[in-house]
Structures are given as structure tokens and as C-alpha cells.
Amino acid sequence: MDDRLYLAVRDKVQRLLLAELSPTANTGDVQMLRLILERIFAEILAEERIPLSRGERSRTFDEIVADILGYGPIGSLLQDDSITEILVYGSDQILVERKGILEETSIKFRDDIDVFRVIDRIVIPKGVRLPEQQPMHVRLPDGSRLSVDPLSLVGPSFRLRKVPGRMLTVDDLVRLEALTADMIGFLRACVKARMNILVSGQLSTGKTTLLNALAGFLPENERIVSVEETVELQFKQDAVVRLESRPPNFEGRIEVCMWELVNNALSMRPDRLVVGRLGGGEIWSILEATNTGYDGLLATAPSCTPHDALHRLEWKVLIMMGDRDRFQRAKREQIAFLFDLIVHLSLLVDGTRKVVQVVEVLGVEGEHIAMQDIFRYVQTEAGGGQVPGYFTATGVRPKFMDRIEAAGISVPAKIFSPARTGH
């Protein structure tokens, strides 16, 4: 069946389906809808006298079902667990990311209308509609993230970052050589001893995955409150209150921002606060809490380097205050005491994600926030699409080790001795 005939049949099937369904029909019953579509499709083929072989008939029907009830040509990509990201550049180009590497597929949309149709299918269950000629960013119920650019010169484009059904555990991270067992042991001790820890890195480096692994070290007998833009973390503890931000939608629901949720979370007096992403007014609330004795915070923030992470937080606070020059020194000192440890991730050119720095924050020296590396990943020469390197301790014993030992937690001194681990 050629494209013109297919589109005519598909549109007629969809029109008859909508005419047949009552306003109270359960549109979530996919099996029922599929049976109705099968009957309508057969009636159209008989009425229009369209000759199709058994194989063509079955294939055409499956395509129509995918277009009307599913996600069109990308339906199979959404079901593929090995794919972490789907990139659509107009109707003619679809790329996927596997293990950090982009691959171009042979899959195509029929036209721009089909691209918009799939976008609507993705976002409408979230209570969102695609605005006319305006970019949009949506987090879906399963935690996946959708970015839409209807103004692209190549046609309507979008990026869908999938969230795996199961978060990686610390054992998975060690097996994938994202960090070493010694580093895991050190981070576990830091979490148990209520150190404030920031996970930093650029986009798609695995910040949420590592935050989830660190949250798994939180004691069972502590009250935990998590604040996320979209619920992604998977807690094994029972005493967890989970708060999720909410954007405004076309139904007129009131927006609930991260700042409000963090304030609400702090009013609950949690033993531990876990923040999925620091990036707005919530920084001020957390700053006030941590500088008055609150500890045990776990959070992520986008950044290029550990220094960049704290500088970004500093400038966001100063911008909110409106007087940068007068308060810059004071706020820099507060930011410097906000976190004890920064764990920085990076996406290497071979597609692997690694913890490239574990950094202790020392405070302010002169005009700068002082830090020292505890562990780092050292890259050696690159070749053949691989980035060889090794993990090593720097030989520096963290200054907060006294606090860890005071909490009754033992950390072997040998893990701080420089030694190459990896390839």
C-alpha cells in the first residue's frame, strides 16, 4: 500500500473510531479499542475494494494501530531497554543513544503531522498540550524527559530521554567501572556520618543514578523526605515522604515549584533531605537550614566542574538577593559550608560515565572556595574509540574524617593511599 492510500485509510479509520466511541468510553482499554479498529479496518477494505495480501493486511493494520493508539514509528524504540535517548530531527531523521553512543536509524515518520501526532500522544496523558510555535520541556510520569522544538528548520524535533525501569545499584556501578569499591566504601561512610554531599556533572552523566545509589545507604530508622521535579529515585527504606513539583497545565492546575516543596519538606523536620536537583529558589531555603545546624543533605546540581557547581549556587543566591557586591563574600562563605563533599561525574567520549573527582570542600581562602581531591579518575592516551585510564586516591586524608570516626564508623586508612585501579 502506497503512502497516499495508507494515510487516507488511516485517517478514515481514526474518524470512524472517534464517531463510534461514546463520551464515557474507556479509552484506556487498548484491547477493546484494538478490536474496534480491526472491525472498522476490515469494513473499509471491503467497502473500498482494496486488494491486500494477508501479510500486507496484517502489516498495514499494525501500522494503523501504532499510529492511532501508540507512538508511531518510535514505538519499538520506546520498548527497547538498551536505548537511553531518542532524538527526532524532523520527519526524516531519527537517532538513538546506546551506551552513550549516538546511532542513526532507518526509521522515519511519514510527515511533520505525524511527528506532532506522536508528541501529542506522549504529553497529553501528563495533562500538557503542545503550544503553538513554542519550545516545551516536559517530564513524563515515568520520569522520562521530553524536549520539543517545533521551530527547527528541519521540521518539528524532539528529544526523549528515557528513564530505566530499574536504577543501577552500587554493585552495578562498580561492575561498569563508574567508580571503585574503595570509593563506594568511603561514600557509604560519608552518608552514614551525615555529611552533606552534592553530586555534580553535566547533562546525562548519571547524577540521578548515583544519587539513588547514595540514598540506598541512608539508615532505615531515619525519616527521609525527597523533593524531585519528577519522581525518579527508588528508595528501599519505608519511612520516606516523596514530594514532586508540578508545572501549570491547560486544566488550570496551580504550579507547585521546588522552592515551595523544599520549604514544606524542612517544616516536616526530616532526619534526611534528598533533593533531586538544585537550581532555583530552593537553594536559599537549604542554605538557611544547613547553616543553622541541619546536616545529612543529598542533592544534585548541573555543572562542568566541582568549582563550577558551587559558583553556580553562589550566583543564584546573589541574584535572588539583588545586591551582589554587598553580600558576595558572606554568601560565598555560606555556600562553602553548605556541602562537605562533591562527587563529580563525567561522560567520556567512549560513552562511559565515570566519577572523575571526589572532592572535599575546605572553605573560603582569599576570594576563592578551596577544595582538595580525595579520589580522581586519570585519563591516559585515547585511541580506538576507547578512553583508557585509572582511578586513584590522591593520598589526602579528608579533614572531616574525625567526624566520621566520632560517629563510630571505621574507614581503612589504606583506601587513601595512591594506587591505580582500572585499565
Here the CATH number for the domain that contains residue 127 is 3.30.450.90
Q: What does the pLDDT look like over 148-157, one tens digit per residue?
A: 887 788 888 9
Confidence of residue 165 (pLDDT cuts 50, 70, 90): low
CA distance 273 to 258: 13
Look at residue 326 in the predicted model and tell me its pLDDT: 61
Instruction: Kindly report, residue by residue over 288-330, the tens digit of the pLDDT.
Output: 777 667 789 999 999 999 999 998 888 877 766 665 556 677 7
pLDDT bucket at 374, cuts 50 / 70 / 90 = very high
Its domain, for residue 413, covers 170-422
Q: Is the pLDDT of residue 340 over 80?
A: yes
Please tell me which of 95-104, 147-156, 397-406 the model is most confident about, judged by mean pLDDT. Answer: 397-406
CATH number at residue 235: 3.40.50.300
Q: Are residues 43 and 94 in the same domain?
A: no
> What's the pTM value of the predicted model, to 2 decimals?
0.78
| pLDDT value, residue 372 | 96
Percent of all residues in the chain with a pLDDT value above 90, rounded to a whole number? 32
Same domain, 323 and 413: yes
Last residue of a domain, one of 69, 88, 122: 69
Give the number of domains in the chain: 3
Residues 266 and 349 grouped into a single domain: yes
**95 and 50 fall within a common domain:** no
Clarify whether residues 102 and 222 are in a common domain.
no
Residue 26 CB partners (closer than 8 Å, separation 6+): 32
Would you state the cell numbers that stand for residue 422, as one nine-digit string? Answer: 582500572
291 and 418 fall within a common domain: yes
Nearest to 183 by CA among 167, 199, 163, 201: 199
pLDDT confidence tier of residue 184, bands split at 50, 70 and 90? very high
| 271 and 402 both lie in a single domain | yes
Pairing type for strands 272-275 and 224-228 reads parallel
> What pLDDT, on the 0 to 100 scale, is given for residue 46?
85
Residues 261 and 301 in one domain: yes
Residue that is last in its domain, among 143, 165, 187: 165
- Are residue 278 and residue 385 in the same domain, yes or no? yes
- Residues 157, 10, single domain; the answer is no
Query: Which among 104, 132, 165 is the end of a domain?
Result: 165
- In a shared domain, residues 313 and 222: yes
Give me the helices (H) in 108-250, please. 112-123, 170-175, 181-192, 207-215
Same domain, 119 and 249: no
Report pLDDT for 126: 58
Contact by Cβ (8 Å): 184, 286: no
pLDDT in tens, 21-55: 665 555 556 778 788 888 888 888 888 888 888 88
Q: What is the mean pLDDT of residues 67-95?
A: 85
